[in-house]
Amino acid sequence: MNVAPSLFFCAVALAAPLLAGAGCGGGGNGPTPVAISSPPLPTPTPPPGKLYVDHNGILYEYALPLKAASKPTRRLIEAPGSGIAPQLAVAPYGSIAIVTATTLRVFKPPIVSFEPARAQVSIPLTPAITQVGPAGAELSDAEYDPNGNLWLVSVLGEVSELASPLSRSTQTASVTVQFGAPGSKTSGFSPVHASFDVNATLYVFAATSAGIETARLFKTSFPYAKPPSGTELNLDFADFVDSSQYLPTNPNPVPVILGQYNGSLQSPPPGQPPPPPVDRLAQFAQPLNPVQGLFPDATAYTIVGAITADAPRTVFYALDQTTGRLEVYTLPMARAAKPTLRLACIGGANYCSDKPEHLFLAP
């Protein structure tokens, strides 16, 4: 998943004064799975039939495939009665988690309303689940992993997992990954966004108070007991496409990483200073090869606030940060990629211009 870059700076501002005491360790805490050397394989889910588009607390449902005349089939207010947009996440089978500063609510399909009374599960947020400040939980993201576990990203310096299945008896995070501890690789960093590859490796985009140019993508693998390590990439909204996720009939199932990249496009000539960084939507071939240099093999001149890949259709969807416009790109990206389809944002500037936004696929 995703939060617009405008919230990125909000997260930094909130977290910077607290980094010194953000965590007491650099790795994962909580119960470690016993006699399991690799994560459980995710259960194959039906191909996506819906695209959920979130604009500042309003969730729109689109039927796939998208067309030039596509209109939302449903519009839902995510936190009725609240003036603050919540965090939300969509599980592999279409359940939706709505997370406010005080409460986690889970809604199972068919979803017709996010009124609290319609939630199948409602869980108060406590310090045993995620860090809680004077204003409640200060979350910058919420994401499901491929196995249906829900992860909460706190700008106070912590990423925590709530094991599936979620129920009213869920009272404690099963895993906690700390950020910002002095002496650790994440020292000075505060988590902003989380994402997962097909193997349930956790990737966390984390920021410093110095600004967007110093942000980095970190990763830690199941069972998340080791401290996060750096990828050396400044890549926000990272989305990972494994070759196994394409249709078997695809003649060229290219594994890639997609995201909003801030950095150089190439190595400088010998004896020359590095070129100025760019800020572009970018694609990197997997696996990453630091020896050859971590440079994108395709880019697009745009700044996005959310992306999600639809590998079976060989496309991915993106939301333009400034306009909220929904755009469709081919997968893998062309070297100088341009959208094949654009749909205007619905709702006006209050919901579309530099606002929190997310994209999710659902069966």
pLDDT tens per residue, range 155-199: 999 999 999 999 999 999 999 999 999 999 999 999 999 999 999
CA distance linking residue 163 with residue 150, whole number of Å: 7
Grade residue 275 by pLDDT with cuts at 50, 70 and 90: confident
Q: Which two tokens stand for residue 106?
A: 């889970």
CA distance 63 to 287: 33
Indicate the domain borders of the chain: 5-17+46-266+275-362
State the pLDDT at residue 75.
Answer: 97
**SS3 at position 261:** strand
The mean pLDDT value for 276-289 works out to 93
Q: Is the pLDDT of residue 269 over 90?
A: no
Residue 289 has pLDDT above 60, yes or no: yes
What burial letters (b/e) apply to 105-137, b meaning 16+ CB within 10 Å? bbbeeebeebeeeebebebebeeebbbbeeeeb
**pLDDT tens-place string over residues 126-166:** 999 999 999 999 999 999 999 999 999 999 999 999 999 99
Which of the following CATH numbers is that of domain 5-17+46-266+275-362: 3.90.79.10, 3.40.630.10, 2.120.10.30, 3.50.50.60?
2.120.10.30
Residue 37: pLDDT band (50, 70, 90) is very low
- Calpha distance 194→358 (Å, rounded): 12
Asked whether the predicted pLDDT for residue 19 surpasses 60, the reply is no
Residue with the bigger pLDDT between 10 and 213: it is 213
pLDDT tens digits for 216-234? 999 999 999 999 999 999 9
Confidence of residue 119 (pLDDT cuts 50, 70, 90): very high
Q: CA–CA separation, 171 vs 20, rounded Å?
A: 27
Dihedral of the CA atoms 1, 262, 297, 284 (nearest 10)? -40
Identify the pLDDT of residue 310. 97
Q: Please, what is the average pLDDT of the chain?
A: 89
